[in-house]
């Protein structure tokens, strides 16, 4: 009985460790992969009329939450309003 309890405890702890160390899926489902051609283009080149999900445009030095949402499209701009990065999160 003592060995059975020890095995069950070890199994339970292993599950917790794996979950804690697993990385979130950074690829996301927001469609950023298909928009990478917009990097280097002015803000006006991005047409947001076809975006159904969550989206945020991030000017330089803007504050943003650090929550990871794979369905949210992030568009980062530089000082000249040029798209520098598109990613899901």
Residue 81 placed within a domain: yes
pLDDT per position in the chain (89 positions), as tens? 555 555 555 555 545 444 444 444 455 789 999 999 999 999 999 998 888 889 999 999 999 999 999 999 999 999 999 999 999 99
Total number of domains in the chain: 1
Residue 57 placed within a domain: yes
Residue 29 placed within a domain: yes
Please give the Cα distance from 8 to 2 (Å, whole number).
10
For residue 62, what is the domain's CATH number? 3.30.10.10
Q: What predicted TM-score, i.e. pTM, was given to this entire model?
A: 0.67
**Which residues span the domain enclosing 81?**
25-88
Residue 67 placed within a domain: yes
Residue 2 placed within a domain: no
Residue 37 placed within a domain: yes
Q: Which residues pair with 73 in a beta bridge?
A: 55, 88
Residue 8 placed within a domain: no
Query: Could you tell me the strand order of the sheet in which 55-58 lies?
Result: 55-58, 73-77, 83-88
């Amino acid at each position: 009985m003592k060995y059975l309890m020890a095995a069950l405890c070890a199994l339970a702890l292993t599950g917790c460790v794996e979950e804690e160390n697993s990385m979130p899926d950074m690829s996301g489902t927001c469609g950023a992969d298909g928009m990478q051609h917009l990097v280097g283009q002015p803000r006006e080149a991005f047409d947001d009329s076809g975006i159904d999900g969550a989206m945020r445009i991030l000017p330089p030095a803007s504050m943003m939450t650090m929550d990871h949402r794979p369905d949210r499209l992030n568009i980062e701009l530089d000082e000249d309003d040029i798209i520098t990065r598109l990613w899901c999160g």
